[in-house]
Amino acid sequence: MSRTESEAAFLARYDPADYARPAVAVDLMLLGLPGGRPTILLLQRDRHPHAGRHALPGGFVGIDEALDAAAARVLHEKAGGARAHLEQLYTFGAVERDPRMRIITVAYLALLTEAAFAEALARAPALHPGTIAASSAGEGPVTVHAIDGAALPLAFDHAEIVALALRRLRGKLDTSAVGFSLLPELFTLRQLQDVHEAILGTRLNKPAFRRRMLDRGWLEPTGRFETGTSYRPAELYRFRPNPSHPPSPTLSQGE
């Protein structure tokens, strides 16, 4: 082909409508730790495929909308604009994953602080919280339960998405700064340890955890302390991104 052909002529000949295209969606796993238990926010389906089952909130990607922007929009629409750390997880593209039509979905993990989690629940009453049974093994299928203990069967391949999200989060928890996305601006070292323990499903050694976190250089002591405790108040820290590690902004590349 001649490289002198005009771009307009080229575009005219390049016909994107020649082939049927899959639909592209984003699905969000909205994760918080209310009461120290990993909990996700689900919508109960009232429509045909998997009616009655619970599904991750999602939506189709607009033709002029970036993937990350679609994830942010779905977060806004389905969770009442709650602030969250969004991070792309994995793209699920099995042919029959949705019986209606071919839908490729890009799964995102959205981490909510306790306040944001409560706010999302308040503003979007359709969202049902489901606690993740943290099988300590870390492998195998994940099961989700309602507050009353009833099992919440998930629609489509969403159990797979939840399992992958939890594995990924566990894997990068100690080497990245994602853990701070689940905490408020000011927090104590015990709260940080609680976050790690809730996600990993294990107990951690206190002195070792404190040493590791403080040696990372990510924690800025504020000189302020908890209030309202009936025991010795703990010092409040702030997360300060380290120049050597990425600052874990919203919409960072998932890795």
**Complex with DNA: residue 84 or 192, whichever CB lies closer:** 192
Q: Which two tokens stand for residue 115?
A: 């306040």
Calculated CA dihedral for residues 134, 140, 144, 145, nearest 10 degrees: -70
Closest distance between DNA and the C-beta of residue 227, in Å? Answer: 8
Which positions from 162 through 191 interact with a second copy, judged by CB under 8 A?
Answer: 164, 167-168, 171
Smallest separation, CB 219 to a second copy (Å): 23
Of these partners, a second copy, DNA, none, which one is at the site of residue 229 (CB under 5 to 8 Å by kind)?
Answer: DNA
CA distance 129 to 141: 19
> Residue 25 forms beta bridges with which residues?
60, 105
Among 91, 222, 229, 242, binds DNA (CB under 7 A): 229
Among 67, 133, 134, 159, binds a second copy (CB under 8 A): 67
How far is 237 from 222, CA to CA, in rounded Å?
5
Distance CA(238)–CA(180), nearest Å, equals 9
When asked if residue 47 is in the footprint of a second copy (CB under 8 A), the reply is yes
102 binds, among DNA, a second copy, none (CB under 5 to 8 A by kind): a second copy
Footprint of DNA on 166-225 (CB under 7 A) = 188-190, 204-212, 215, 225
Q: Rounded to whole angstroms, how far apart are CA atoms 200 and 172?
A: 11
